């Protein structure tokens, strides 16, 4: 499986499992277990998802050494202290450290929580720190004050949300861009262009969308609770999209190549 180098020297898998909107308890445990059995080594959760304990339980019960799994959670910026919340996350997850700790969105501005994030890093609670849903402008503002640079920006990203300017800015700054909801929460799977390419390649539409992200140099975290789809979503390293397929997918963008992390209408904080 492809690995991407982070600024802190560690590597992040190019494909992982996201558990946004996965119910705490058996559903999360089964999804994480299925992913780990299929070969995934990146699991992404968040304080706001309410399923960290189930993620941790599935990881422990997998029998896979903790050091072989890349574990991400996210600071809920409605809270006051990233360090205190990281300690709570570690307790819920049942682990001594995170591989990546992200600010979930830039509520209150992009810089106020960063000193607390850096404290998490220097204390060894997380190997890496980063952000989510940040625009290019917010990344630049953060870079001006950061002593420890952000390693990742996790954003809504797919051929339909091909944020070219944001990707370019992240690449220039040395950040890895990570794509959440690369399948558009399922909406993109029925698109005619995606379907045509999938049929030509003998692949699923989900595999086409995930492979597109991998070829753009992203880390991609599709979500599924179905074992068969979890397995299929990981089987994207034995084929490539040709230039014509990539161009056809690129043309599906609805964001005009934006540098924004989120559309103004989807910002849920004030």
Domains and CATH numbers, the chain: 11-266 (3.20.20.100)
Q: What pLDDT is stored for residue 156 in this prediction? A: 97
Q: What is the mean pLDDT of the chain?
A: 96
Residue 98 CB partners (closer than 8 Å, separation 6+): 71, 72, 73, 86, 89, 90, 125, 126, 127
Mean pLDDT of 235-254: 98
Q: What pLDDT is stored for residue 180 in this prediction? A: 97
Q: What pLDDT is stored for residue 270 in this prediction? A: 53
Going by the DSSP 8-state scheme, the letter that residue 126 receives in this structure is B
Contact 46, 74 (CB under 8 A): yes
Query: Angle between the 26-38 and 227-234 helix axes, to the nearest 10 degrees?
Result: 40
Mean pLDDT of 150-166: 98
For residue 262, pLDDT over 90 is answered with no
Q: What pLDDT is stored for residue 116 in this prediction? A: 98
Prediction pTM value = 0.96
For residue 169, pLDDT over 70 is answered with yes
Tokens read off for 18: 């996201």
Cα–Cα–Cα angle for 74, 99, 125, rounded to 5 degrees? 80
For residue 242, pLDDT over 70 is answered with yes
For residue 199, pLDDT over 80 is answered with yes
Active-site residue, selected from the candidate residues 40, 49, 83, 162? 49
Tokens read off for 98: 């995170």
Q: What pLDDT is stored for residue 269 in this prediction? A: 66
Q: How far, CA to CA in Å, does 84 sit from each of 47, 87, 96, 125, 258?
A: 12, 5, 14, 11, 34
For residue 178, pLDDT over 80 is answered with yes
Q: Mind listing the pLDDT tens digit for each residue in 29-56?
A: 999 999 999 999 999 999 999 999 999 9
Mean pLDDT of 156-171: 98
- Ordered DSSP codes for 215-241: HTT-EEE-----HHHHHHHH--SS---
For residue 1, pLDDT over 80 is answered with no
Is beta strand 129-132 parallel, antiparallel or unpaired with respect to 100-103?
A: parallel
- Rg, Å, the chain Cα set: 18
With cut-offs at 50, 70 and 90, classify the pLDDT of residue 186. confident
Tokens read off for 154: 């996790």
Q: What pLDDT is stored for residue 267 in this prediction? A: 72
Q: Mind listing the pLDDT tens digit for each residue in 77-107?
A: 999 999 999 999 999 999 999 999 999 999 9
Active site residue 40: no
Q: Given the structure tokens 């690449």, which residue do they identify?
A: 171
Q: Which pairs from 114-119 meet CB under 8 Å and 24+ separation?
A: 114/142, 114/145, 114/146, 116/75, 116/81, 116/82, 116/83, 117/75, 117/82, 117/148, 118/146, 118/147, 118/148, 119/82, 119/83
How far is 263 from 19, CA to CA, in rounded Å?
Answer: 22
Closest to 130 (Cα-Cα) out of 108, 150, 105 = 150
Tokens read off for 166: 């944001």
Q: What pLDDT is stored for residue 78 in this prediction? A: 95
Mean pLDDT of 175-193: 95
């Amino acid at each position: 499986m492809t690995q991407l180098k982070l600024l802190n020297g560690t590597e992040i898998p190019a494909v992982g499992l996201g558990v946004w909107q996965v119910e705490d308890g058996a559903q999360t445990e089964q999804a994480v277990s299925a992913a780990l059995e299929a070969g995934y080594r990146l699991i992404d959760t968040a304080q706001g998802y309410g399923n960290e304990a189930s993620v941790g339980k599935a990881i422990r019960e997998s029998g896979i050494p903790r050091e072989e799994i890349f574990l991400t959670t996210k600071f809920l910026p409605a809270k006051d202290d990233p360090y205190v919340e990281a300690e709570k996350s570690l307790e819920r997850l049942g682990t001594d450290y995170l591989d990546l700790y992200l600010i979930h969105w830039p509520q209150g501005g992009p810089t106020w929580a960063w000193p607390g994030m850096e404290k998490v890093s220097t204390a060894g609670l997380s190997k890496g720190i980063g952000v989510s849903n940040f625009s290019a402008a917010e990344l630049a503002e953060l870079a001006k004050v950061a002593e420890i640079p952000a390693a990742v920006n996790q954003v809504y990203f797919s051929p339909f949300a091909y944020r070219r300017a944001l990707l370019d800015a992240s690449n220039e700054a040395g950040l890895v861009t990570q794509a959440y909801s690369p399948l558009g929460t399922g909406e993109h799977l029925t698109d005619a262009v995606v379907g045509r390419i999938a049929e030509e390649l003998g692949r699923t539409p989900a595999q086409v969308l995930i492979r597109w992200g991998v070829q753009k140099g992203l880390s991609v975290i599709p979500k599924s609770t179905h074992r068969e789809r979890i397995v299929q979503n990981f089987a994207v390293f034995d084929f490539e999209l040709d230039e014509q397929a990539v161009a056809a997918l690129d043309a599906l963008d609805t964001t005009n190549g934006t540098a924004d992390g989120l559309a103004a209408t989807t910002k849920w904080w004030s």
